[in-house]
Structure 1
C-alpha cells in the first residue's frame, strides 16, 4: 500500500516556496488497520488525530489532505490541511506552534 502526501518545500520554513509529492510505502496490512492502530503508526493527523489519511482524504475537501511536515522533534509527520490552513489557503496565517 502506498500513501501520497504533500511536502512543503523547503520543509518547515514559512513561507514555503512550493509543494513536492512524497510517497510512503506501507505494509499491505495497513489498509485493514483500525483507526487507533493507524493513528499509532502515524497515518492520522499528528495534531488533531481526526483525519485517517487512508480513508478520509478527499480531493474536493483540502482540509483532509495529508501534508508531511517536521514535528517538534524534527522528524517528518503527517498533518491535515485543517490543522495547517496555510498549506491550502495562501492568505491563511500559520497556526501557532505549541511550546
Structure 2
C-alpha cells in the first residue's frame, strides 16, 4: 500500500517555500489494519488521531490531507491539515504545539 503525502519545504519551517510530494510504502495488508494498528504504524494523524489517511483523506477536504512534519521528539510524522492549518491556508497562523 502506498501513501502520498506533502512535505513542507524546508522541513518544519514556517513560513515554508513550498510543498514536495512524497510517497511512502506500507505493507499490502496495511489497508486492512484496524484504526488503532494504523495509528501505531503512523498512518493516522499523530496530533489528533482522528484522521486515518488510508480512508479519510480527500482532495475536496484539505484538512484531511497528510503532511510530514517533525514531532516533539524531532522524528518526522504525519499530521492532518486540520492540525496544521498553516499548510492549507497561507494566511493561517501555525497551530499551537
Q: TM-score, normalised by structure 1?
A: 0.96
Matched, 1:3 2:6: no
The size of the alignment, in residue pairs, is 97
SS in 2 for 1:38: helix
> 1:41 maps to what in 2?
41
SS in 1 for 2:53: coil
Segments of structure 1 that go 5 or more residues without pairing to the other structure are: none
RMSD: 0.5
SS in 1 for 2:37: helix
> 1:22 maps to what in 2?
22
Segments of structure 2 that go 5 or more residues without pairing to the other structure are: none
Residues 25-45 of structure 1 show CA distances to partners (whole Å, capped at 9, x for unaligned) of: 000010000001001111100
Distance in 2 (CA, whole Å) between partners of 1:71 and 1:30 is 23
Distance in 2 (CA, whole Å) between partners of 1:9 and 1:67 is 11
Quote how far apart the aligned CAs of 1:96 are. 1.6
